[in-house]
Amino acid sequence: MLELRLVQGSLLKKVLESIKDLVNDANFDFSSSGFSLQSMDSSHVALVALLLKSEGFEHYRCDRNTSMGMNLGNMSKMLKCAGNDDIITIKGDDGSDTVTFMFESPTQDKIADFEMKLMDIDSEHLGIPEAEYHAIVKMPSAEFARICKDLASIGDTVVISVTKEGVKFSTRGDIGTANIVLRQNTTVDKPEDATVIEMNEPVSMTFALRYMNSFTKATPLSNTVTISMSPDLPVVVEYKIAEMGYVRFYLAPKMEE
Amino acid sequence: LGSQTVLPIYFRHL
């Protein structure tokens, strides 16, 4: 028996919107402490890791660990039928080949349930070790989205370089080049507007902008984004979900030929 | 512009 009631249902809608274009289908792993998902895109270049902890739910019941394979496009279609203020409940029964999403309006005058077929998914799980990163940049998520969108109109790849001077995003394309430098800026009115650079060693890496732009679909989940880089590791782009968990995107770098 | 690497180079399959 599985029953999870999320008062802030819009959060689940936002999570799905942030990952459904990167990953077609995925296993949702439910346990008593919360639920998680890990899935690579079809080219094995990017990976999404989602965690939503049980504490963030108004009601959370998971009698035994269970994994449910869901098509994220279909799940997104169903969650789009929930209002932004709706309470969303996910229900499942042991051995069933369906999952039910229940949507309740805040005034309880409209209650809908949508039953979705589950699917068998051969998931390839990767072990992601804890790592010490050379540089960690925390910045406003909207600023990061703006930079990725702007650079993608000039080139296909972005070089992200972190030095003690700041973080530089560079691209080049047929029409020319672009460089955007952000300096550490902690003298802001609101902490979420700060750019904070933690650097142990300078690092410079190249990534495909197409993926970075896909990750920025998670912008509505968090005011800030954290970018962690080490030369011998995929970059981690993390959007924290307040009080509940995170959506992390891992992206393999491009290497010099 | 460099060759694209893949994640299984960096992370092992479980």
Q: Tell me the per-residue pLDDT of A183-195, one tens digit each, with 9 for 90 and over.
A: 999 888 999 999 9
A157 vs B contacts (CB less than 8 Å): 1-2
Q: Per-residue pLDDT averaged across A50-72, rounded?
A: 96
In B1-14, the residues whose Cβ lies within 8 Å of chain A are 1-14
Q: Could you give the 3-state DSSP secondary structure of residue A211?
A: helix
What's the first-to-final CA gap in chain B, in angstroms?
32
Query: What are the structure tokens assigned to A154, written together?
Result: 């000039």
Share of chain A above pLDDT 90, in %: 93
For chains A and B, CB pairs below 8 A equal 59
Of the partner residues A128, A234, A254, the one whose CB lies closest to the CB of residue B3: A254
Strand positions, DSSP E, chain A: 2-6, 25-31, 34-40, 46-53, 59-62, 66-71, 87-92, 98-104, 111-117, 126-127, 135-140, 157-163, 166-173, 176-182, 196-199, 203-208, 224-229, 235-241, 245-251, 254-255
Is residue A95 within 8 angstroms of chain B, CB to CB?
A: no
Between CA A137 and CA A129 the distance in angstroms is: 20
β-sheet with B3-4: strand ranges across: A176-182, A166-173, A157-163, A203-208, A254-255, B3-4
Q: What confidence score (pLDDT) does residue A257 get?
A: 67
- pLDDT value, residue A122: 87
What is the DSSP-derived secondary structure letter of residue B7? Answer: G
Nearest CB to A126; choose among B1, B4, B13: B13
- A250 contacts B8? CB cut-off 8 A: no
> CA of A192: how far to CAs of A27, A165, A186, in Å?
32, 21, 10
Q: Looking at residue B1, what is its pLDDT? A: 62
Compute the nearest-CA separation of B14 from chain A (Å).
5
pLDDT one-digit tens code per residue, A220-250: 999 999 999 999 899 999 999 988 999 999 9
* Residues of B with Cβ-Cβ distance to A232 under 8 angstroms: 10
pLDDT higher than threshold 90 for residue A95? no
Of A127, A232, A250, the CB nearest to B14: A127
- Site of tokens 């047929």: A174
Give the distance from CA A32 to its chain's centroid: 22
CA angle centred on A133, ends A130 and A139, rounded to 5°:
110
Is residue A4's pLDDT more than 70? yes
In this prediction, residues A57-82 reach a mean pLDDT of 96
Q: For residue A48, with 0-12 CB atoms within 10 Å meaning exposed, 13-18 middle and 19 or more buried, which class applies?
A: buried
The pLDDT value given to residue A163: 95
Say whether pLDDT at A203 is over 90.
yes
Average pLDDT over residues A62-76: 96
Residue for token pair 């993608």? A152
Tell me the mean pLDDT in the region A64-74.
Answer: 96
pLDDT tens across B1-14, in order?
679 999 999 999 88
| pLDDT reported for residue B2 | 78
A123/B contact by beta carbon, under 8 A: no
A136-178 residue pLDDT tens: 999 999 999 999 999 999 999 999 999 988 999 999 999 999 9
Token pair in block for residue A92: 């499942």
Nearest to A234 among B2, B7, B14 (CB): B7
